[in-house]
Amino acid sequence: MVTEPASRAKVLVASNRGPVSYTLRDDGALEAKRGGGGLVSGLSAIGQDADAVWVCAALGDGDREAVRRTDGRLDTGDTGGQRVRMLGIAPEVYADAYNGVANSALWFVHHLLYQTPLEPSFGPEFRARWASYETYNRAFAEALADEAADGAAVLVQDYHLALVPGMLRALRPDLRIGHFSHTPWAPVDYFRLLPDDIARQLLRGILGADRAAFLTHRWAGAFTACCTELLGGTGNTAIGVHGLGADGDFLRERAHRPDVDERIVTLRGQIGRTSAGEERKTIVRVDRTELSKNIVRGLLAYRLLLTDRPEWRERVVHVAFAYPSRQDLAVYREYTAEVQRVADEINAEFGTEGWVPVVLHVED
């Protein structure tokens, strides 16, 4: 039984991952830390004065224990003062919705990642997972309906929650609802790899919002084209394009904290200097080990630089922060292993006693 909120919010954010995650320690205590990922970073500017509630899912055992202890309304001391409603969705439902649909189907469609001569195949097993995706989205819609004040603004995030706007509209027609896609949107022919009924359900779900927003005009245009092809148009939903930038003030302030100086000393030690005492150049990337990030191709491009421009050997180091992502899925584990393999090959081919061409970090 969900307890009534102390006060209903005027602004609500809904996303799969929330601004905090928990680890259950051996002594039974819960340890809170800031949630990872670009979406959390992008939305973290929503402050305590916004009369806002962030609705998210419990991702692991620590999160689920926090939900059990707090009835899902997290301690603001753990969240940086933000009001957070965390949903304890059944682990098997969450796994089917998150890994079985969102990350194994929708992500692959929108990033054009399928090997189409071989895949995808949407049989009975996928239909069962789709039912979990519906259940997962319904849990968000019901929680948002519970938490929202009359006429509140609800900001629904990303492909995980594509059905929420339509479901929420049916529950609370008074709300102002927006849906923001943080990923590409597939062109019509590729989007139609999905079964027609599911493709239409996804589109209608997002069109439950007053405004559907995208990062680029190309992706907004692709969504509109899909709606036109499959539904005859976008109805009354406005389509918007909005860039999502970094918080420059925060980054400038963060760069001057003492731990950054300590980390720079460590990195400089790993990068080293040439035999002539020259400070080496660095090429740096920070990514999840995710198929659309082109980490392997980036490493191959770096290898080509060292092959074609031998004057750069021992004068440059590629520092690659590639932290594991979605390791529950075999294809992601294989990709992470391939990143490591290519980095090792480059180091074996070009490395010297005093120079490691690729410094690869595969932790968060």
Is the pLDDT reported for residue 309 higher than 70? Answer: yes
Question: What pLDDT is stored for residue 268 in this prediction?
Answer: 87
Consecutive H or E run containing 239: strand 238-241
- The 10s digit of each residue's pLDDT in 18-71 is 989 999 888 888 998 876 655 665 566 565 566 899 999 999 999 999 999 999
Question: What pLDDT is stored for residue 33 in this prediction?
Answer: 86
The secondary structure of residue 11, as a DSSP letter, is E
- The 10s digit of each residue's pLDDT in 332-344 is 888 899 999 999 9
Q: Are 180 and 207 in contact (CB under 8 A)?
A: no
Q: pTM (2 decimals)?
A: 0.84
Question: Could you confirm whether domain 258-361 is CATH 3.40.50.2000?
Answer: yes
Is the pLDDT reported for residue 134 higher than 50? Answer: yes
- The 10s digit of each residue's pLDDT in 25-37 is 888 889 988 766 5
Q: Over the chain, what is the mean pLDDT?
A: 91
What does the pLDDT average to over 8-22? Answer: 93
Structure tokens at 152: 């509140």
What does the pLDDT average to over 329-333? Answer: 82
Q: What are phi and psi of 7, to 5 degrees?
A: -150, 145
Is the pLDDT reported for residue 2 higher than 80? Answer: no
Q: Which has more pLDDT, 288 or 123? A: 123
Q: CA 138, CA 132: separation in Å to the nearest integer? A: 10
What does the pLDDT average to over 171-175? Answer: 98
Q: CA 284, CA 321: separation in Å to the nearest integer? A: 8
Question: What pLDDT is stored for residue 338 in this prediction?
Answer: 93
Question: What pLDDT is stored for residue 315 in this prediction?
Answer: 95
Half-sphere exposure of 16 (CA within 13 A, CB side): 24
Beta strand 281-288 with 316-323 is parallel
Is the pLDDT reported for residue 127 higher than 90? Answer: yes
> What is the CATH T-level fold of the domain 9-241, as seen in this structure?
Rossmann fold (3.40.50)
Question: What pLDDT is stored for residue 6 in this prediction?
Answer: 59
Every domain of the chain with CATH number 3.40.50.2000 lies at 9-241, 258-361
Question: What pLDDT is stored for residue 195 in this prediction?
Answer: 97
**How far is C-alpha 242 from the chain's CA centre?**
17
- The 10s digit of each residue's pLDDT in 217-243 is 999 999 999 999 999 999 999 999 998
